[in-house]
Amino acid sequence: MPDVLIIGGGCIGSAAALHLLKRSPGTAVTVLEPDPTYTEAATTHATGGVRQLFTRPENIELSRYTLEVIANWQDYLGLDGTAPDLAWKENGYLFVAPPEHTATFERNFATQVELGVEAEWLDPGELTQRYPFLLTDDLGPAVLSPRDGWLDPHSLLHGLRRAAQRLGAEYRTDRAVDLTVRGGRVEAVQLESGSTIEADWVINAAGVRAPQLAELAGMPVPVDPMPRQEHYVEASGDYTAMPFIKDPYGLAIRSEGEGLSVGLVDFDTPASRELPRDNSHFEERVWPALAHRIPSLDALRLKSTWAGHYDQNRLDGNMIIGNRPGTVDNFLTACGFSGHGLMHAPGVGRALAELIVDGDYTTIDLTRFGYQRIIDEEPYQELGVR
């Protein structure tokens, strides 16, 4: 019988397995992952961004920890120089917004600086001078975090998984479909294969499938699968030194190889397990927004499009972590990351390990991301760009 069963072997589940075995060597850890190719996993469809430009201290601290992991990647994994290359690109993050958002930007910038984020305030003139390819006529000031950037999601995932396996985690190809709950505990997890697993602890890190499992444990969550698309485009010009650009309306642009990776996320998109299969969204919404912000991209070439899901927390867009107090003590859920799962995976994995090994958070206190706010219907959302 495994001491800990982790449902979901993506970046969150693998980070949890790694930190459990780091903190408590010899713990029997089994990770359920129905798709070892990760073809449809959220992790492999992520943009790979890591930023500190948040307004909630927990999110800033989680991003800062991920940056520490990136800086010490080989030692963190303990793979003796064989860790996959993260292809880390420290081009920074640039948040832009129209003039009417200036007061919000000023407030958020003050919070970020107070919490230790290395950030620069760029007046409209400075923004134009530094990034002449941007149309800035309709923009107010911007904020740049020069030490942030993006990495290769596949390398992060497979590095975490390989390191967890080296320490003894068993990865099993199967899917959790039901729970046996008695006396305030999950006694067993039923699998799609027909077998059953018992464990002292169960971690629900199943991404867009996590809400169904949480419901079985008496822990309904306001999380659903929100379809999103990412597009790779090429155009004349050199954008390799461009930062990751985001605006409050969901437009996100970063360099990728010889071109650009572009997305336009609408957080009001209805829930659906179906993924878009055509380019109408790009042609009707993304391309016009992109060509407006970077006029030279009016003659771009769309090379590829891929689709995935956010496990979108409709209450406030932030993660839900932990259990439901007084209901099922040995069942921990981590879901609702709303696009920040890969970015915060190392810290979330460490936090889950702390809850099991230490009984509480011992590094970053994530209590305000706990389930009590769901019960109380009290959102704890970001105050700026999500």
Is the domain of 325 the same as that of 189? yes
Q: Kindly report which listed range (29-43, 150-164, 169-183, 208-222) carries the lowest average pLDDT score.
A: 29-43
More confident residue, 59 or 279: 59
pTM over 0.85: yes
With contact defined as beta carbons under 8 Å apart, do 91 and 244 qualify?
Answer: yes
CATH of the domain at 302: 3.30.9.10
359 within some domain = yes
The yes-or-no verdict on residue 279 having pLDDT over 80 is: no
Is the domain of 8 the same as that of 128? no
Is the domain of 175 the same as that of 138? no
350 within some domain = yes
Give the residue from 307, 342, 368 where a domain finishes: 307
Two tokens, residue 226: 């929100």
365 within some domain = yes
The yes-or-no verdict on residue 305 having pLDDT over 80 is: yes
Is the domain of 142 the same as that of 257? yes
Is the domain of 198 the same as that of 242? no
Give pLDDT, residue 299: 87
127: Cβ contacts below 8 Å, ≥ 6 apart: 96, 134, 136, 139, 141, 142
382 within some domain = no
Query: How far apart, in whole angstroms, are the C-alpha atoms of residue 364 and residue 348?
Result: 9
Give pLDDT, residue 310: 87
CATH of the domain at 358: 3.50.50.60
Is the domain of 125 the same as that of 110? yes
Is the domain of 33 the same as that of 164? yes
Q: Kindly report which listed range (123-132, 268-277, 293-302, 344-353) carries the lowest average pLDDT score.
A: 268-277
Query: How far apart, in whole angstroms, are the C-alpha atoms of residue 383 and residue 107?
Result: 9
38 within some domain = yes
CA distances, 37 to each of 41, 44, 265 (Å): 9, 10, 26
* Pairing of the two strands 29-32 and 170-172: parallel
Give the residue from 278, 307, 336 where a domain finishes: 307
The yes-or-no verdict on residue 271 having pLDDT over 90 is: no
168 within some domain = yes
Is the domain of 371 the same as that of 230? no
Based on the structure, what is the number of domains in the chain? 2
Is the domain of 327 the same as that of 362? yes
pLDDT tens, position by position, 251-260: 999 999 889 9
Chain center to CA of 145: 18
pLDDT band at residue 45 using 50, 70 and 90 as cut-offs: confident
Give the residue from 260, 277, 307 where a domain finishes: 307
Could you tell me what percent of the chain has a pLDDT over 90?
81
Is the domain of 163 the same as that of 198? yes
384 within some domain = no
Q: Kindly report which listed range (49-53, 80-84, 99-103, 259-263) carries the lowest average pLDDT score.
A: 80-84
Is the domain of 15 the same as that of 138? no
Which amino acid, 125?
G
Query: How far apart, in whole angstroms, are the C-alpha atoms of residue 386 and residue 375?
Result: 23
Determine the structural domain holding residue 63 and report its residue range: 4-84+152-222+315-376
Is the domain of 238 the same as that of 368? no
Give pLDDT, residue 149: 98
Q: Kindly report which listed range (68-77, 102-111, 267-276, 278-287) carries the lowest average pLDDT score.
A: 267-276
Name beta bridge partners: 190.
Answer: 178, 196
The yes-or-no verdict on residue 124 having pLDDT over 70 is: yes
Q: Strands of 176-182's sheet, edge to edge?
A: 176-182, 185-191, 196-197
198 within some domain = yes
The average confidence (pLDDT) of the chain is 94
The yes-or-no verdict on residue 7 having pLDDT over 90 is: yes
